[in-house]
């Protein structure tokens, strides 16, 4: 049996994987964000979070900021495969405005208005192409606690991974506006995919992910 742990992106819950199906010899395990300790780093969070991984040599799949988290978790446990979707493998793949935010620390004064404004939250974590589907996405973006949001923005911008981890499988959409493909290297291209493609391109993922897991 192949155990697959799936981690959603920033502010998202595990319902984003509701259209993802696996063959009978796979057991999927849906993960959700736990409350961060205000001052802890993404590495410290990953150590705590890794206790939720109950099987040896699992497959870890993470979307967006969840992709960053599973990379950090893989530094503390042995994994069969590490797959990231709509994410980045190092801070060198950040778009310029994120790199600027790291240098200037402007993330500290970022107004967290999207806590009470769902539209702002959706545009921030999924990108401008989701505007027509805001009502649809409301059930997926439920992690809106102020402590979590301020922590996640900080740990995203300050992520210090300079070089990609070996054997990371990276799937990225050509229309991603959060992490534009222009700055991404060594990835599997999904034509027409945007930052919410885990929801929109489930047929592709259902067909291709088992191949990626079982391939060399």
Q: By C-alpha distance, which of 7, 51, 55 is closest to 32? A: 7
Interatomic CA distance for residues 207 and 201, integer angstroms? 10
Would you say 96 and 75 are in contact if contact means Cβ atoms under 8 Å apart?
no
Chain centroid offset of residue 107 CA:
19
Does the pLDDT of residue 163 top 80, yes or no?
yes
Does the pLDDT of residue 106 top 50, yes or no?
yes
Would you say 98 and 157 are in contact if contact means Cβ atoms under 8 Å apart?
yes
Q: Tell me phi and psi for residue 47, to 5 degrees.
A: -65, -45
- Number of CB atoms found within 10 A of residue 105's CB: 11
Would you say 170 and 187 are in contact if contact means Cβ atoms under 8 Å apart?
yes
**Residues forming a β-bridge with 84:** 62, 170
- Give all strands (DSSP E) within the chain, no chain letters: 2-7, 26-30, 59-63, 81-85, 168-173, 188-190
146-157 and 65-73 helices cross at what angle (nearest 10)? 70
pLDDT category of residue 138 using cuts at 50, 70 and 90 = confident
Task: Tell me yes or no: is domain 2-214 CATH 3.40.50.300.
Answer: no
Does the pLDDT of residue 109 top 50, yes or no?
no
Query: Tokens for 182?
Result: 């222009």
Q: Is 15 exposed, middle or buried (0-12, 13-18, 19+ CB in 10 A)?
A: middle
Interatomic CA distance for residues 125 and 33, integer angstroms? 15
Mark residue 41 as left, alpha or beta (left: phi above 0; alpha: psi -120 to 50; beta: remaining).
Answer: beta
- Does the model's pTM come out above 0.85? yes
Higher per-residue pLDDT: 148 or 107: 148
pLDDT category of residue 136 using cuts at 50, 70 and 90 = low
Going from N- to C-terminal start, the domains of the chain cover 2-214
> Given this model, what pLDDT does residue 173 score?
96
Q: By C-alpha distance, which of 4, 195, 158, 1 is closest to 81? A: 4
């Amino acid at each position: 049996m192949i155990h697959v742990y799936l981690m959603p992106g920033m502010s998202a819950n595990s319902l984003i994987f509701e259209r993802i199906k696996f063959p009978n010899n796979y057991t999927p395990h849906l993960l959700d964000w736990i409350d961060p300790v205000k001052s802890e780093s993404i590495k410290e969070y990953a150590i705590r979070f890794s206790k939720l991984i109950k099987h040896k040599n699992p497959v870890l799949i993470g979307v967006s900021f969840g992709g960053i988290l599973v990379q950090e978790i893989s530094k503390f446990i042995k994994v069969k495969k590490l797959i990231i979707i709509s994410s980045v493998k190092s801070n060198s793949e950040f778009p310029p405005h994120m790199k600027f935010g790291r240098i200037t620390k402007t993330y500290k004064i970022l107004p967290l208005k999207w806590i009470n404004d769902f539209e702002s939250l959706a545009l921030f974590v999924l990108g401008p192409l989701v505007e027509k589907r805001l009502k649809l996405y409301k059930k997926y973006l439920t992690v809106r606690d102020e402590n979590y949001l301020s922590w996640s923005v900080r740990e995203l911008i300050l992520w210090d991974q300079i070089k990609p981890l070996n054997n990371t499988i990276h799937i990225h959409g050509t229309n991603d506006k959060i992490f534009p493909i222009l700055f991404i290297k060594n990835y599997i291209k999904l034509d027409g995919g945007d930052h919410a493609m885990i929801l929109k391109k489930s047929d592709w993922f259902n067909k291709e992910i088992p191949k990626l897991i079982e391939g060399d």
